[in-house]
């Protein structure tokens, strides 16, 4: 029997491990099962090259919970350890057996790289026992134990089967891990796709009643908690559409079928595999980030992948697996490294190429999915210049007639009609086709093409694109009267006299709470509305950005809405209104006409809306009585 002290730089290593090594104590199970997986992968490697003799038997990992004994046991049938190896790997903290093995057998698939993973056991255990039997012939079974102090025991015991069994005697502070549901949940979270079958057993749980097996039928096989062969480790040529959709349901049981997916498979200049899915997003508020899971050799690491995946692709769902992503000792945080930037760029390129391919080959389908795709594309073009270059080819804008245009197609269609005096292409847009219907109809009647910009990202998108696209400007369809939308033109003559024009301007000069109203009288067509309310593009945008919490523009949100009331001096209604001798009636008629215009912009609210309703009812009653 050997007794001694674990060789570390300080006797206080265990308190440090318990408090600071890992941010989350549940990580202990991931580390120990990962180690068991490494041990199993090692025996497979050694057997394949003839260094391990004999039948390997069933290779599996068993995690057992004994609530009465307050123990958690992790057992594998891997390479095991000799007495010398136990002394080397367990008694010299931070000496990594995985690293040494990788140096010798470079093609082996090994997870661990840190050597401290085993000691995560002491975050939850008052005592740890290890029974291990090396694959080497005639090697004795070795027992090792430690109670969380630098003291350990190490001696040989009666021969057991090949592999390693680790028994954790759970301390009082960590009693939560003696809950079978919680423990199984941790396994499913971190070990769901490990390459070795993992079985969970609650020793004292009542056995589940199995379906009676009829004569001639095989008994159902014991079910592991993990999928050992997830689709991202397979070749795309081996997979069907159904395979990808089935795996998506495995990741997100309640998610709708995704739009499509991208299979990542890179082995140079870095190793990267994975599958990224484009989810269906019907409304902008359904956007959910942090749905991409990062794995390292099939071990779950984190769903915080913002340094690996470009920000705009955080809207995607799926899995990324790379052994080349640098992690800190707890595998919880990414560390700065050129590979991270390369992977980021590669993912951006793969997504852009896939979108361009679908657009070119299946444009109709692409357009049908644009409601969801548009969010990804616009977000990407705003935030990533490399993606912008590609995105210009497949960004589409849907017009109010339901036709889709790329930017170049829109320019071609409106070349002759929609350029302003500075030579810029004017993209007319609507943010609410129903509310802005009258303005849209007026613009379409002039031969203009109005596109829809209805999502939460569109306000920021068009602001950004005006800076990135040359000679393009966006104007909302209600930013001015239709004759002035593209270019400021000389107003048409009115049929009114100069005095009548001034009188109308005075009548429509209104003081309305929370609105800054500017009035003008112009000669529009007799078919146009008697009063048109428009909101100047610049100030309305500033208010919209301020309302969205736009940093330096936030103060604009507190400013009154700017509105221009354009009084159509050519409308027949003014021939009778100006002749009205009752000033009270005239004032009420004017105010109703103005309120109708404001109502079309959604700017008549609260008391002003109530006053309009009451005034309208009152005027109708008087007309009925006089009739």
* Residues 530 and 622 occupy one common structural domain: yes
3-state helix, strand, coil in the chain (%, to 5): 40, 20, 40
CB 118 within 8 A of CB 88: no
Lowest-confidence pick of 119-123, 282-286, 289-293, 453-457: 282-286
* Residues 45 and 75 occupy one common structural domain: yes
The tally of CA atoms less than 13 A away on the side-chain side of residue 297 is 21
* Residues 478 and 497 occupy one common structural domain: no
- Please tell me the predicted confidence (pLDDT) of residue 53: 85
CB 156 within 8 A of CB 143: yes
* Residues 300 and 443 occupy one common structural domain: no
- Please tell me the predicted confidence (pLDDT) of residue 329: 44
CB 449 within 8 A of CB 418: yes
Would 220 be classed as within a structural domain? Answer: no
Q: What tens digit of pLDDT does each residue of 39-84 get?
A: 999 999 999 988 988 889 999 999 999 999 999 999 999 999 999 9
For residue 566, pLDDT beyond 90: yes
Q: How would residue 94 be classed by pLDDT, with cut points 50, 70 and 90?
A: very low
> Do strands 125-133 and 163-170 pair parallel, antiparallel, or not at all (unpaired)?
antiparallel
- Please tell me the predicted confidence (pLDDT) of residue 114: 43
For residue 309, pLDDT beyond 50: yes
Q: Where are the alpha helices (DSSP H) in 395-457?
A: 407-414, 437-445
237: three-class secondary structure by DSSP: helix
Would 149 be classed as within a structural domain? Answer: yes
Would 104 be classed as within a structural domain? Answer: yes
Mean pLDDT score of the chain, rounded to an integer?
Answer: 85
For residue 512, give every residue at least 6 positions away whose Cβ sits within 8 Å of its Cβ, in sequence order, or none.
598, 608
- Please tell me the predicted confidence (pLDDT) of residue 376: 86
Q: What tens digit of pLDDT does each residue of 353-404 get?
A: 999 999 999 999 999 999 888 988 999 999 999 999 999 999 999 999 999 9
Q: What tens digit of pLDDT does each residue of 255-265 get?
A: 888 999 999 99
CA distance 322 to 264: 11
- Please tell me the predicted confidence (pLDDT) of residue 110: 47
Between 482 and 201, the higher pLDDT residue: 201
For residue 95, pLDDT beyond 70: no
Split into its structural domains, the chain has a count of 4
Q: How would residue 113 be classed by pLDDT, with cut points 50, 70 and 90?
A: very low
For residue 23, pLDDT beyond 90: no
Q: Bridge partners of 299? A: 296
For residue 214, pLDDT beyond 90: no
Residue given tokens 């870095």 in the structure block: 270
CA distance 197 to 223: 9
Task: Report the CATH number that the domain containing residue 410 is assigned in CATH.
Answer: 3.40.50.11260
Would 136 be classed as within a structural domain? Answer: yes
* Residues 174 and 274 occupy one common structural domain: no
Would 294 be classed as within a structural domain? Answer: yes
Would 212 be classed as within a structural domain? Answer: no
- Please tell me the predicted confidence (pLDDT) of residue 553: 60
Would 262 be classed as within a structural domain? Answer: yes
For residue 15, pLDDT beyond 70: no
For residue 592, pLDDT beyond 80: yes
CA neighbor of 164 nearest in space, from 57, 68, 49, 38:
38
* Residues 482 and 521 occupy one common structural domain: no
Residue 407: domain span = 396-490
* Residues 22 and 170 occupy one common structural domain: yes
Task: Report the CATH number that the domain containing residue 108 is assigned in CATH.
Answer: 3.30.565.10
* Residues 67 and 148 occupy one common structural domain: yes
For residue 219, pLDDT beyond 70: no
- Please tell me the predicted confidence (pLDDT) of residue 396: 97
CA distance 200 to 64: 6
- Please tell me the predicted confidence (pLDDT) of residue 323: 83
- Please tell me the predicted confidence (pLDDT) of residue 217: 61
Q: Which of 441, 462, 490 is at the close of a domain?
A: 490
- Please tell me the predicted confidence (pLDDT) of residue 307: 74
Q: What are 492's two structure tokens?
A: 């048409």
Task: Report the CATH number that the domain containing residue 256 is assigned in CATH.
Answer: 3.30.230.80
Q: Which of 447, 468, 490 is at the close of a domain?
A: 490
| Whole-model pTM over 0.85 | no
CB count in 10 Å sphere of residue 611: 13
Q: Bridge partners of 564? A: 518, 534
* Residues 466 and 508 occupy one common structural domain: no
Measure the CA angle with vertex 528, ends 526 and 529; round to 5°. 115
* Residues 13 and 158 occupy one common structural domain: yes
Residue given tokens 């004759």 in the structure block: 483
Q: Where are the alpha helices (DSSP H) in 395-436?
A: 407-414
* Residues 235 and 136 occupy one common structural domain: no
Burial per residue of 110-138, b for 16 or more beta-carbon CB atoms within 10 angstroms, e otherwise: bbbbbbbbbbbbbbbbebbbbbbbbbbee
Q: Which of 202, 217, 244 is at the close of a domain?
A: 202
For the chain, report the end-to-end CA distance as a whole number of angstroms: 116
Highest mean pLDDT among 2-6, 425-429, 454-458, 537-541: 425-429
- Please tell me the predicted confidence (pLDDT) of residue 205: 80
Task: Report the CATH number that the domain containing residue 579 is assigned in CATH.
Answer: 1.20.120.790
* Residues 86 and 185 occupy one common structural domain: yes
Would 436 be classed as within a structural domain? Answer: yes
- Please tell me the predicted confidence (pLDDT) of residue 10: 43
């Amino acid at each position: 029997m050997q007794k001694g002290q674990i060789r570390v730089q300080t006797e206080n290593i265990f308190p440090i491990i318990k408090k600071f090594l890992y941010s989350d104590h549940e990580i202990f199970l991931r580390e120990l099962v990962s180690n068991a997986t490494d041990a199993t992968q090692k025996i497979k490697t050694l057997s394949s090259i003839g260094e391990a003799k004999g039948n390997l038997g069933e290779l599996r990992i068993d995690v057992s919970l004994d609530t009465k004994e307050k123990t958690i046991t992790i057992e594998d049938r891997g390479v095991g350890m000799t007495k010398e190896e136990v002394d080397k790997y367990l008694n010299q903290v931070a000496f990594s057996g995985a690293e040494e093995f990788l140096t010798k057998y470079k093609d082996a698939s090994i997870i661990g790289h840190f050597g401290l993973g085993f000691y995560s056991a002491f975050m939850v255990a008052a005592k740890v026992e290890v029974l291990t039997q090396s694959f080497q012939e005639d090697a004795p079974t070795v027992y090792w134990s430690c109670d969380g102090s630098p003291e350990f025991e190490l001696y040989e015991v009666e021969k057991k089967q090949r592999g390693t069994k680790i028994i954790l005697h759970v301390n009082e502070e960590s009693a939560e891990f003696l809950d079978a549901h919680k423990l199984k949940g941790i396994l499913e979270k971190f070990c769901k796709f490990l390459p070795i079958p993992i079985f969970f057993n609650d020793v004292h749980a009542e056995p589940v009643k199995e379906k009676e097996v009829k004569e001639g039928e095989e008994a159902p096989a014991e079910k592991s908690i993990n999928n050992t062969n997830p689709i991202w480790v397979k070749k795309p040529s081996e997979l069907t559409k159904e395979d990808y959709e089935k795996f998506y349901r495995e990741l997100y049981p309640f998610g709708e079928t995704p739009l499509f997916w991208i299979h990542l498979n890179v082995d140079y200049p870095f190793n990267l595999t994975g599958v990224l899915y484009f989810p269906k997003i019907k409304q902008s508020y359904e956007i959910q980030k942090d749905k991409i899971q990062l794995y390292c050799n099939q071990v779950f690491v984190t769903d915080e992948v913002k340094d690996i995946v470009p920000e705009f692709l955080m809207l995607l769902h799926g899995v990324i697996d790379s052994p080349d992503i640098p992690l800190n000792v707890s595998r919880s945080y990414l560390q700065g490294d050129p590979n991270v930037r390369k992977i980021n760029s590669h993912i951006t390129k793969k997504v852009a190429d896939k979108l361009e391919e679908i657009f070119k080959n299946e444009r109709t389908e692409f357009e049908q999915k644009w409601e969801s795709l548009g969010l990804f594309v616009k977000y990407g073009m705003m935030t990533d210049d490399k993606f912008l270059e590609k995105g210009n080819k497949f960004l589409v804008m849907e017009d109010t007639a339901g036709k889709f245009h790329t930017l170049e197609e829109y320019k071609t269609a409106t070349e002759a009609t929609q350029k302003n005096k500075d030579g810029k292409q004017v993209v007319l847009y609507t943010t609410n086709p129903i509310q802005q219907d009258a303005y849209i109809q007026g613009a379409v009647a002039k031969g203009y093409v109005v596109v829809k910009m209805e999502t939460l990202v569109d306000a920021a998108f068009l602001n950004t694109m005006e800076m990135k696209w040359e000679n393009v400007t966006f104007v909302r369809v209600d930013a001015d009267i239709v004759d002035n939308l593209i270019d400021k033109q000389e107003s048409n003559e009115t049929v009114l006299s100069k005095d009548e024009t001034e009188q109308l301007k005075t009548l429509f000069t209104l003081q309305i709470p929370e609105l800054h109203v500017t009035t003008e009288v112009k000669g529009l067509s007799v078919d146009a509305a008697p009063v048109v309310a428009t909101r100047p593009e610049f100030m309305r945008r500033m208010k919209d950005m301020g309302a969205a919490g736009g940093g330096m523009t936030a103060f604009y949100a507190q400013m009154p809405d700017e509105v221009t009331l354009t009084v159509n001096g050519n409308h027949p209604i003014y021939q009778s209104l100006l002749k009205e001798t009752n000033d009270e009636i005239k004032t009420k008629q004017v105010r109703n006409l103005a309120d109708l215009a404001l109502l079309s912009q959604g700017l008549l609210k609260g008391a002003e809306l109530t006053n309009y309703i009451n005034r309208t009812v009152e005027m109708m009653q008087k007309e009925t009585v006089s009739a």
